[in-house]
Structure 1
């Protein structure tokens, strides 16, 4: 494999602790070149070279991924542009089975001789690996699709929007925050375009065009009397959309809550203005009294709890102990699934995996094994009913086909099981955010994600947020601070007593979810409506223990 070049965004400032070092791999590229695609016919010719070379060396199965990965990051602070990064990473990864074992090699030299050499190396590696086999690889059957394509259904390609327009947006956000009373603000726009071509000996030639966008900022306010400071991060969600995500429409506005809310859109300027007011409120907010509270959790917060307590533990490689990096294994062992009655949560809890969800970070037409993506249940009426599995895992849980959740973050990385979009389904009864708050006598309404910790089996955890509002007798009674809640996964999801309806359903997600060794990142969304959880233990994070 070619060693990746990691470029780190620098000079973002102390206010951007949320982004301590964002990996950007690839070589610098002129912005104009970001819009020049590679000819599909050429990619097919190159893929066939690899398929034929691997077969001639003894591979019984081969898949080829030709990837062109484009990144654009625009970084600002107050009135200055700090960095504009444009990169391209382009090459081919070749995965084979030979003598019943996996082998993988990659190259960024896309001439016929170099591709043939990489294919031969992959086969050689597989044969060496086979010396350690106790059981040969068993792939779930997969039909070939012939020549097909899939494009993210975006309305406006963000890479086509002039840099000046993007810079003007970020600087206007910064200006509004500073005029509103912020002491510091940094704002960033992340853009990703994955142009991926997959071919395999199953007979598939799949061309895909995937887009992601993430606008984000951090506002900081200093208390002049105490020199202490508070921050508020943006409440945006990274999303699998085009630039239209930053163009909210009146019909997308959601009523209720304490922040400007839009369904599938985001008003960065309006959010920044709200952030300044709220960060000032945080400075003088009352510190929470520890105890049991009913929690009303906004989707901008709940997505991370779903990610850590449901998404990761339902990954089959973690369940089997094959994977333990970046988060450990899983308490959702096979015996719990086999019992068909393991009580994961209350009967209101229905959680699905979905690689087809429009606008989500994980939405693709086909995964990196050439499997057409789908939607399936993980938790049904509170009961564990399934996991997330790929082609060489499917037989372990009695599946006849992969669930289509295999992914590699670059052409130079080997694909493996990654999290699908994992989402809590909306409530079936008509309920708004305000309805959920009205039903609470003593509680806390939490917005935005913050720091968290969770144990190595994804069971015992603690989560914080961005904004906390005290609920007293069904009404918002003011802002709180120093809040975190503690629970275990099963106890927490069984405490779910109400979920708002579909009109409040929104996506959150992670742009850089880490897993594996060597490490890879992926982007994944988690949807939900606002939900209520009764009798959850809340601690004060500012108070010392003992």
Structure 2
């Protein structure tokens, strides 16, 4: 499945396949707040570790996962679906004779866990017979028994379903009252209860929470039959239900009358604005193609960062391991060694799995490596990639970057994108001040359609809202725009970035990769940024 398909899903069945944890069993909503006893998990993990050692494994890790998901889906005055799911089991990875082996079981008893460990060892030894180069693992010091939890104020799973339905139906009613003809709103909650144990001496218990509240508003011109939509401008977040409690301190009033949100989201206010803006889009003129200076809001820029920075700097992609499914990367290793200029001197990209509120934030990755922050692009120069324990030596590193992830207990962990973010500008600069310096430009909000080549070099991105800038002023809304870029040319055209006061997170609630496919969630932070002389095309069928 393509990532872009997610927003178009009309039913929850296919959505279950795309979200971390795969398909689970239906459970009562009350069960979503329950947990497994860490002592029980440790005893099961020790059984697996010992069985792997007895079978001849030099290394073993055991992941006991309980993946909980709740989806609430509405349209206008109707509830379309409410789903509560659980998927629980044990995944065991071993290194024997220089090769990996993996096996999993959904039975939480000692005999089943031991059998899975023995099966993983057998697979590793079979792989070793045909593997030319043995796996090299970067060292990791065991941390003993530790725990980490997403710092949430309110567990969304504990909020009654009736309250969630009431919120979404109120959002729908407000949008209809403000001029929408149709509106669909949804709420997605994910809780990953992950226990990791390894022969390195780690027993890590983590409780990870994520939330997303997307909607789509549609306005129709009943005379012409023309219609326009506007999706919500919020970001999925690594937060609890407190994210849906409006907070004036987390509200951003932007030029053009657009409102953005930080770590607290007023879904109702955004839906009302969406209805009005969808109506305005019906009247907006089609953009004139040509060269524009772009002012990109973080709600739009995050996807460009994801596709044109995050993906091409995944080391397995760079090395061609993903070529069959997801493509390769133009950012080959020789470019790092040559000091390749990725962007202008103000462009700095940081990989980070620790930022509070982000989708990728955890204490430890799925190899038991403590998460950290590191530079990918420094002052415009490519300096690093993303690596796991068995990739670190390929970059001359002595340790992993801590970016290993599996989307379920039944999936083997591998290198996944951490949060990748554009650092805010170092000099004071507001969005209004940035726009004041633009003679002919477009101010773009929200995620739209996109297209990108297999090496992440050539791309095209749309948006939700486009405002024309003339002589430093917002001149009104336009429609049917998309910007075309080549990755290094685009980031070298970055001439200004707003300061940290404007820094916000965007994100993808699922990012597909691997065969069999897995989905992960990742955030991308940025402040509003300016890009000079970018080619803009008209995407309408006719002018």
Tell me the TM-score normalized by structure 1.
Answer: 0.96
Which residue number in structure 2 is paired with residue 305 of structure 1? Answer: 304
Q: Whole-Å Cα distance in 1 between the matches of residues 10 and 141 of structure 2?
A: 51
Which residue number in structure 1 is paired with residue 387 of structure 2? Answer: 389
Of 480, 495, 509, the residue aligned with 1:482 is: 480
**Post-superposition offset of 1:160:** 1.0
RMSD after superposition? 1.9
Are 2:245 and 1:247 aligned?
yes
Which residue number in structure 2 is paired with residue 270 of structure 1? Answer: 269
1:463 to 1:22, Cα distance in 2 relative to 1, 3 A: same
Q: Within 5 A, what are the aligned runs for 1:389-468?
A: 389-468=387-466
Which residue number in structure 1 is paired with residue 110 of structure 2? Answer: 112
Q: Whole-Å Cα distance in 1 between the matches of residues 419 and 6 of structure 2?
A: 28
Note if contact 1:346-1:496 (Cα within 8 Å) is conserved in structure 2: yes
Which residue number in structure 1 is paired with residue 335 of structure 2? Answer: 336
Q: Whole-Å Cα distance in 2 between the matches of residues 141 and 10 of structure 1?
A: 41
Q: Within 5 A, what are the aligned runs for 1:124-143?
A: 124-143=122-141
Other structure's SS at 1:245 match: helix
Which residue number in structure 2 is paired with residue 285 of structure 1? Answer: 284
**Post-superposition offset of 1:255:** 3.3
* Aligned length in residues: 535
**Post-superposition offset of 1:422:** 0.1
Which residue number in structure 1 is paired with residue 517 of structure 2? Answer: 519
Q: Whole-Å Cα distance in 2 between the matches of residues 272 and 543 of structure 1?
A: 28
Note if contact 1:440-1:472 (Cα within 8 Å) is conserved in structure 2: yes
1:185 to 1:13, Cα distance in 2 relative to 1, 3 A: farther
Which residue number in structure 2 is paired with residue 76 of structure 1? Answer: 74
**Post-superposition offset of 1:220:** 0.7
Q: Whole-Å Cα distance in 2 between the matches of residues 531 and 236 of structure 1?
A: 18
**Post-superposition offset of 1:327:** 3.1
Which residue number in structure 1 is paired with residue 538 of structure 2? Answer: 540
Q: Within 5 A, what are the aligned runs for 1:297-376?
A: 297-324=296-323, 327-339=326-338, 341-376=339-374
**Post-superposition offset of 1:543:** 4.4
**Large movers: runs of 4+ above 4 Å:** 8-14, 18-24
Note if contact 2:387-2:401 (Cα within 8 Å) is conserved in structure 1: yes
Are 2:233 and 1:231 aligned?
no
Are 2:157 and 1:159 aligned?
yes
Instruction: List per-residue Cα deviations over 1:73-115 (Å, max 9, x = no partner).
Output: 0000000111100000000000001110000000001111111
**Post-superposition offset of 1:265:** 1.5
Of 196, 200, 203, the residue aligned with 1:202 is: 200
Q: Whole-Å Cα distance in 1 between the matches of residues 107 and 378 of structure 2?
A: 48
Q: Whole-Å Cα distance in 1 between the matches of residues 51 and 405 of structure 2?
A: 24
Q: Whole-Å Cα distance in 1 between the matches of residues 403 and 6 of structure 2?
A: 30
**Post-superposition offset of 1:491:** 0.3
**Post-superposition offset of 1:248:** 2.1
Note if contact 1:352-1:375 (Cα within 8 Å) is conserved in structure 2: yes
Other structure's SS at 1:503 match: helix
**Post-superposition offset of 1:225:** 1.5
Q: Whole-Å Cα distance in 2 between the matches of residues 366 and 97 of structure 1?
A: 20
Q: Whole-Å Cα distance in 2 between the matches of residues 97 and 104 of structure 1?
A: 9
1:509 to 1:56, Cα distance in 2 relative to 1, 3 A: same
Instruction: List per-residue Cα deviations over 1:8-53 (Å, max 9, x = no partner).
Output: 9999759x9x989855521001111111110000000000000000
Q: Whole-Å Cα distance in 2 between the matches of residues 455 and 36 of structure 1?
A: 44
Note if contact 1:325-1:516 (Cα within 8 Å) is conserved in structure 2: no
1:516 to 1:98, Cα distance in 2 relative to 1, 3 A: same
Which residue number in structure 1 is paired with residue 90 of structure 2? Answer: 92
Q: Whole-Å Cα distance in 2 between the matches of residues 448 and 543 of structure 1?
A: 22
Other structure's SS at 1:205 match: strand
Note if contact 1:327-1:458 (Cα within 8 Å) is conserved in structure 2: no
Q: Whole-Å Cα distance in 2 between the matches of residues 493 and 145 of structure 1?
A: 40
Instruction: List per-residue Cα deviations over 1:486-531 (Å, max 9, x = no partner).
Output: 0100000000000011010000000010000000000000000000
Note if contact 2:18-2:519 (Cα within 8 Å) is conserved in structure 1: no
Q: Whole-Å Cα distance in 1 between the matches of residues 362 and 204 of structure 2?
A: 11
Tell me the TM-score normalized by structure 2.
Answer: 0.96
Q: Whole-Å Cα distance in 2 between the matches of residues 332 and 313 of structure 1?
A: 6
Q: Whole-Å Cα distance in 2 between the matches of residues 280 and 216 of structure 1?
A: 19
Of 191, 198, 212, the residue aligned with 1:214 is: 212
